[in-house]
Amino acid sequence: MLSLFFVALVSATLLPGGSEVWLARLWCLGEPTLALWLVATAGNTLGSMINVAMGRYARQFQERRWFPASPRGLARAERWYHRFGELSLLISWAPIIGDPLTVLAGVFRLPWWRALAWIVVAKGARYAVVLLLAQQWLLPLCQ
């Protein structure tokens, strides 16, 4: 189960990962559903909070040549973030766009506890859906 925590954590950072597949595999092996959900949610949330921390401290480097966003791109991201705000973290579970959203929450200094609350809801819902789908579709394959 510790492996699920680390796969979920890495999957939430800007590195690629496959926490859903690992979660489904462990579920097929008979691990307790609630424990799987809690571990996956905790690991993935922690990974996203690392992204928030990176965003929080990255802005101080925006004048450097190697900074990944241009001033124009950062201004566009800021307008988008102010338009949709912290509610955008409800899609932090989504591949490709979810990780940058958590970084933006840090860049624009969303309070830690509010970022955490939105991210837990999003990640917890995602893993609940994965487990429900596993029960619906994988049960015959697991035996």
Averaged pLDDT, 94-123 = 91
pLDDT of 4 > 90? The answer is no
pLDDT digits (tens, 9 = 90+) for 121-137: 999 999 999 999 998 88
Treating both helix axes as pointing N-terminal to C-terminal, what angle do 112-133 and 98-107 enclose, rounded to 10 degrees? Answer: 170
Q: Are 92 and 101 in contact (CB under 8 A)?
A: yes
Q: d(Cα 10, Cα 73) in Å, to the nearest integer? A: 26
What single-letter DSSP state applies at residue 135?
Answer: I
Distances (CA, A) of 7 to 56, 76, 87, 92: 24, 32, 26, 17
Q: d(Cα 34, Cα 37) in Å, to the nearest integer? A: 5
